[in-house]
Structure formats: structure tokens, C-alpha cells
Amino acid sequence: MTDHAALAATEATPDTFRTMMSGFPSGVCVVTTHGYDGAPRGMTCSAVCSVSLEPPTLLVCLRDGSPTLESIMKTGSFAVNLLHGRAQQVAELFASGDPERFDRTPWESAPGSGGPHLVRDAHTVADCDVVLTQSMGSHITVFGAARRITRRHAHPPLLYGLRQFRSWPAA
């Protein structure tokens, strides 16, 4: 057995936790839906995870109180737009809360979709139905049963880690 000393141990606080998680890169998506008024809603999200292959299920963690989450809870459906490496500006736009974000990027919403598809910026979109929600602290975990997957582009995915965006390297 090898003895390895820790470099440093500190109390788990919001800041130390944020720093720790920044060292765990993840893909970037924009979660979208429609409000009852028909208006599109959406926000950038890096907390996305596959849950099950059968049935195909994923989860997203969204800030409690966000208009996007509120609409998802009312409509029971959403779309997960997985962003490609050329879509950093859209990731930043949807993270900004800009009320005109849907006017500043192309999107479409086909009948039966869970939410708007970002046609230029998503490499793949999953249309999902809400099957379960769980509250934890400042966020709500939304489990979505994927009912349709649309492949849009072959570009490599956009990643976020160490508080920076990067594209997956070309093969």
C-alpha cells in the first residue's frame, strides 16, 4: 500500500466546491421549452447526464426559479440542445439571461418537439418528457425520457471546464 499525502484539504464551501467542479469538464447544452404563451424559453446548462439506456433517460439540473424551469414544469417537456464547438457565443448568450436571445440565433420548433431546436448551434437535440423531478438546494434535477433524437451537425462538442470553453479536438 502506498501512502499519498494530500496537497491541501479545506472545508467544502460553495467556493471550494465550485473550484473542484471546474476541474471536471463537461459538455455544454441549451435546455429549451415553450411557455404556455408559446414563447420560447431556454438556458445554458452543463449539468447534463445520461441515466438509463432502457428507457432512454437523461437528467438536467436547472436553477430553481428560472423561467425555463417554470415552463418545463408546466408543459412537461423540454429539448436538450447539445452544442458543438463553434457555438461558444450561443452558450454565453443563453447563460446571460438576455431577453432577446431567441431573436439572436436561428431556431425552429417542429410539432411534437420538446422545445426549440437551435438549428445552427446544436450538434444533436433530444426531445424529452419530464418523468421525475428532485429538488436539492438551489437547483431542481429534471429527469427526461428521450422520445426523439435529432442529429444536426458532425462538429465536435463544446466543452466547459476550468471556467473556459473548448472544443473537443478533431479526430
| DSSP code string of the chain | ------S------HHHHHHHHHTS-EE-EEEEEE-TTS-EEEEEE--EEEEETTTTEEEEEEETT-HHHHHHHHHSEEEEEEEBTT-HHHHHHHHHT-TTGGGSS--B--TT-SS-B-TTTEEEEEEEEEEEEEEETTEEEEEEEEEEEEE---SPBEEEETTEEEEPPP-
- Whole-number pLDDT of residue 20: 87
Mean pLDDT of 157-161: 94
pLDDT above 80 (res 104) = yes
Mean pLDDT of 130-149: 97
pLDDT above 60 (res 1) = no
pLDDT above 80 (res 133) = yes
Mean pLDDT of 81-102: 97
- Whole-number pLDDT of residue 2: 58
Supply the mean pLDDT for the chain. 93
Confidence at 79, pLDDT banded by 50, 70, 90? very high
Confidence at 75, pLDDT banded by 50, 70, 90? very high
Torsion over CA: 149, 153, 155, 157 (sign): negative
pLDDT above 60 (res 159) = yes
> Does domain 26-166 correspond to CATH entry 2.30.110.10?
yes
Confidence at 58, pLDDT banded by 50, 70, 90? very high
- Whole-number pLDDT of residue 23: 83
Lowest average pLDDT, out of 17-21, 126-130, 163-167, goes to 17-21
